[in-house]
Structure 1
Amino acid sequence: MNLATILEQHGESLVLAIGGGVIGLLFGFFAQRSKFCLRAATIEFWHQKFGEKLSVWLLAFSTAVVLVQGLIVLQALDTSTARQIAARGSLSGALIGGLLFGAGMIMTRGCASRLLVLSANGNLRALLSGLIFAVTAQAALSGSLAPLRNTISSWWTVEGGPTRDLLAITGIGHWGGLAFGLLWFAAALYFAIRSGWGLWKWVGGIGTGLAVAAGWWYTHLISSNSFGAVAVQVQGLTFSGPSAEWLMRVLSSPAPHIGFDFGLLPGVFAGSFIGALVGKEFKLEGFQDGYSMRRYIAGAMLMGFGSMLAGGCAVGAGMTGGAVFALTAWLALIGMWAGAGLTDRLMDSQATVPTAAQQVAGTTANMQAP
C-alpha cells in the first residue's frame, strides 16, 4: 500500500499526527538520554568549559543542518514554502524574543523542550513551568499579550522569500549550507572527543538532530502526496505553537484540528518517560522554597512571550529554523545565547550573596542544574 492510498483512506490529519507522535517519541528518548539542553550548552560556552553539554548540543544542531541541507541537495526536501522562509518575518521580534527566551531558560533551568522532557521524568518544577509557558505563549499568540507582541514585531520586518534566506543572501546556496553543517559537525566531534567518551552523548546528540530533520522530511513527504483541498504545511519540530495548541485543546471547544503538532508533544513526553525508565532516572521533584518558585514562574513567562515573539523556541527557531538557514531563526538563536549568557552572569553574581531566607532554606543545592 503506497502513501497516497494511505492518505486517501485515513486522511492527512491522522497520518500527520501519527508521524508527529513517532518522531516526537524519538526526539524525547534521545534528548532525555543525552541530556540535550541549550541552557546547559550556553552556560558551558560562556564559562569557557566546552564540555559534554556543549558537544551534545553541537552534535544535535550540526546533524540537523547536515541532514536537512543534504535532503534539499538530493531534492528529497523543499522548504521554500515553510513559514520560516516564505512568510514575512520580524527581525526585531527575533532578536528581542531570543533575548527574552534565553533569559527565561536560565531562570527555569531548561528551554521549552527540556521542560517537557523533565516533566516526563517526574520534575514537578518543570511541569509547572511548562504549563505557565503554554499559557503565556497562547496569551502572546491571540490573547492579552498579542498587541505588545505585534508592536515589537512591527519595528523591523523582512519580506519572505530570498530576503529571509541566509543561503540566498550570501549566495552560497544549499551546497554551501551543507558544507557549513559539515564544518560544525567536525567541531562537534572535536569537543565531544575532548570532553570524554559517552555512548548516549554520541547516540543521543546525533539522534536528536536526526529527529529534527525527520520532522521536515516527513511533513514534506505528506505535503507532496496530499490531494486534499487544504494544502499540508511543510514544517519542522517546535514546542511553542504546539504547547499553546494543546492548551486550547484542553480549554476550548471545538478543539483545533489535529495534525503533526497534535502527536508531537505526547510523543516527546512518552519518549522521555521511556528514556527515564531505561536510565532509572524517574524521580518526583518539587520546589524547595518560595524564591525558586518565583524564579521559575518568571522565567517561564519570559520564555512563553519570547518564543512567540521570536517565531519559535530553542528547537523551533534555533534548530528547526536554523537548519534551513532562516535569517530570523539565526537572529533568534544569537539572541538566546546572548540572553542566556547575560542572565547567567547576573544570577551568578547574586548567588554569591544569598539572602537570609535562602540561607535558612538551604537552597544552595537548588541553584545547581536539575
Structure 2
Amino acid sequence: MENLIDRFGEAWLLAGVGCIVGILFGMAAYHSRFCLRAATVEVTQGSLGPRLVVWLIAFFAALASVQGLLLTGLVDLSAARQLSTTGSLSGAMIGGFVFGSGMILARGCVSRLLVLSASGNLRAIVTGLVVVLVAQASLSGVLAPLRERLAMSWTISGGETRNIANAVGVDAGIVTLLSTFFLIGALIWGARQKLAISQLVAAFLVGLAVCTGWFLTAKIAAASFEVIAVQSVTFTGPSTDTLMALVGSREIPLTFGFGLVVGVFLGALIFAIASGEARIQRFEPDVPMERYIFGGAMMGFGSMLAGGCAVGAGLTGGSVLAVTAWLAVLFMWIGALVTQRVLEAAVFARAKAG
C-alpha cells in the first residue's frame, strides 16, 4: 500500500478505491434489485418475498465479512466515524423514521435512486437532486439549527459505548458465527424463493462491497502519514459533496466518496446497457411529482439527522455494530412500514368511496 501511495498519492488512490468499490456495488445492486424500500413494502403486504431476502443477504454478508476482518485482526476500524465520535440516539430514531417515510414516498432510498438514475430514470434523477439539496441545507444551511437541536436531545459518547458488541458482552467471533449462520439461512431462503443464482451472488456482493470499502480505506489510513478517514459505502454525504463541488468549485476534490458516487453510476450504467434495460423513464400519471419531491426532501433531512442513509447506516454502520446505525435502520423500517400502511389505507378508502 505504501508503494501505491508513493506512486499515486492519497487523493488519487482514495478516489480510485472508491470508484472500484462503487462499480462493484452499482453492478451488484442493479442486478439484485437491492432496495430497502422494496423489502419494507413486501413485509407490509404480508409477503416475505425476494426483495426482503436480497436485503437480508446483503446485510448479513456485510456484517459477517466485516466482523470476520476484525476477528482476524486484518484491520482496525475503531477510528471509524460511526464508532469514534459522539453519536445521537435521538437523531437516529427521528431521522431514521423520517428517512424511512420519505423512502416510501419517493419509491426508493438514496442508493436506489443513484442506481436507477444510471438507467435513464428521470424520476430518480430529479428526486436525487432534491435529496442532496435538502441534505446540504440540513448540514450547513437553513435546516442545520433544527437538525442540531434534534440531534443533541439524546447523545451517546464515542468509543466502546457505541459498539453493540461491547454493550451485550460478545466478541467479533460470536458475531461472525451468528451472522454467517443467518447469511446461509438467507441464501437458502432465496433459493427457495426461486431467485436466480446470479441474483443471490449479486446480493452477497452488495454486502461484500461494504467490507471492501472498510478494508481498503483502513489499509490506506494505516500506511499514510496524512490523516485519512476510515470509511465505506454511504451515499447522502458523498452525493451532496459531489454536487456542491460541481456547482461551486473549479476543481472537484478527489475523495473516496467522489470515486464511490462515480463508480456506482458507472457500474449501474454498464449493467443497464448490457441487460438492455437502459431507457428514459418519466414521472407516472398515477404518482404525482410532488410526492417524489416531498419524499426526497424527507430523505435528505432524515439521513443527515440519522447519520446515514439506508446503506450508510443500515449496511456500513450496521456492519461495525454501531448502536446508532442499528437504531437508525430500525426506525427506517418503522417509518417505512407505517407510511406504506397509511398509503394503502388511503388507496383502499378512495376505491371504496368510488
> TM (normalized to structure 2)?
0.96
Q: Name 2:336's counterpart in structure 1.
A: 340
For 2:234, the aligned partner's letter is: T
- Secondary structure of the residue that 1:223 maps to in structure 2? helix
> Following the alignment from structure 2 to structure 1, what is the Cα–Cα distance between the partners of residues 178 and 40?
21
Q: Is the 8 A contact 1:40 1:54 kept in 2?
A: yes
Return 5+ residue gaps in structure 2 as ranges. none
> Following the alignment from structure 2 to structure 1, what is the Cα–Cα distance between the partners of residues 27 and 236?
19
Question: Which one of 321, 324, 332 corresponds to residue 320 of structure 2?
Answer: 324
Q: Is the 8 A contact 1:38 1:314 kept in 2?
A: yes
Q: Which moved more, 1:328-337 or 1:343-352?
A: 343-352
Q: Name 1:275's counterpart in structure 2.
A: 271
Q: Name 1:26's counterpart in structure 2.
A: 24
Q: Is the 8 A contact 1:50 1:191 kept in 2?
A: no
> Following the alignment from structure 1 to structure 2, what is the Cα–Cα distance between the partners of residues 353 and 132?
30
Structure 1 segment 104-123 matched on structure 2, within 5 A? 104-123=102-121
Q: Is the 8 A contact 2:245 2:253 kept in 1?
A: no
> Following the alignment from structure 2 to structure 1, what is the Cα–Cα distance between the partners of residues 287 and 22?
33
Q: Is the 8 A contact 1:102 1:338 kept in 2?
A: yes
> Following the alignment from structure 2 to structure 1, what is the Cα–Cα distance between the partners of residues 175 and 252?
36
The offset of 1:254, in angstroms, is 5.9
Describe the shift of the 1:91–1:348 C-alpha distance in structure 2 as closer, same or farther (beyond 3 A): same
The offset of 1:190, in angstroms, is 3.5
Q: Name 1:221's counterpart in structure 2.
A: 219
Q: Is the 8 A contact 1:52 1:201 kept in 2?
A: no
Q: Deviations over 1:258-304 (max 9, x none)?
A: 21011010100010011111221112111133952010000000000
Q: Is the 8 A contact 1:39 1:105 kept in 2?
A: yes
For 2:312, the aligned partner's letter is: G
The offset of 1:175, in angstroms, is 1.2
For 2:313, the aligned partner's letter is: A
Q: Name 1:252's counterpart in structure 2.
A: 248
Structure 1 segment 298-313 matched on structure 2, within 5 A? 298-313=294-309
Q: Deviations over 1:108-134 (max 9, x none)?
A: 111000000001011100010000001
- Secondary structure of the residue that 1:238 maps to in structure 2? coil
Structure 1 segment 1-370 matched on structure 2, within 5 A? 3-228=1-226, 231-253=227-249, 257-289=253-285, 292-354=288-350
For 1:320, the aligned partner's letter is: T
Q: Name 1:362's counterpart in structure 2.
A: none
> Following the alignment from structure 2 to structure 1, what is the Cα–Cα distance between the partners of residues 112 and 145?
28
> Following the alignment from structure 2 to structure 1, what is the Cα–Cα distance between the partners of residues 33 and 121?
14
The offset of 1:32, in angstroms, is 0.3
The offset of 1:96, in angstroms, is 0.6
For 1:166, the aligned partner's letter is: I
For 1:95, the aligned partner's letter is: M
- Secondary structure of the residue that 1:352 maps to in structure 2? helix
For 1:152, the aligned partner's letter is: L
Q: Which moved more, 1:277-286 or 1:150-159?
A: 277-286
Describe the shift of the 1:62–1:346 C-alpha distance in structure 2 as closer, same or farther (beyond 3 A): same
Describe the shift of the 1:133–1:203 C-alpha distance in structure 2 as closer, same or farther (beyond 3 A): same
The offset of 1:69, in angstroms, is 0.4
Q: Which moved more, 1:335-344 or 1:278-287?
A: 278-287
Q: Is the 8 A contact 1:33 1:279 kept in 2?
A: no
> Following the alignment from structure 2 to structure 1, what is the Cα–Cα distance between the partners of residues 337 and 111?
19
- Secondary structure of the residue that 1:25 maps to in structure 2? helix
Over aligned residue pairs, what C-alpha RMSD do you find?
1.5
For 1:269, the aligned partner's letter is: F
Return 5+ residue gaps in structure 1 as ranges. 360-370
For 1:262, the aligned partner's letter is: F
Q: Which moved more, 1:345-354 or 1:76-85?
A: 345-354
> Following the alignment from structure 2 to structure 1, what is the Cα–Cα distance between the partners of residues 322 and 180?
18
Q: Is the 8 A contact 1:84 1:326 kept in 2?
A: yes
- Secondary structure of the residue that 2:288 maps to in structure 1? helix
Q: Name the count of aligned residue pairs.
A: 352
The offset of 1:353, in angstroms, is 4.2
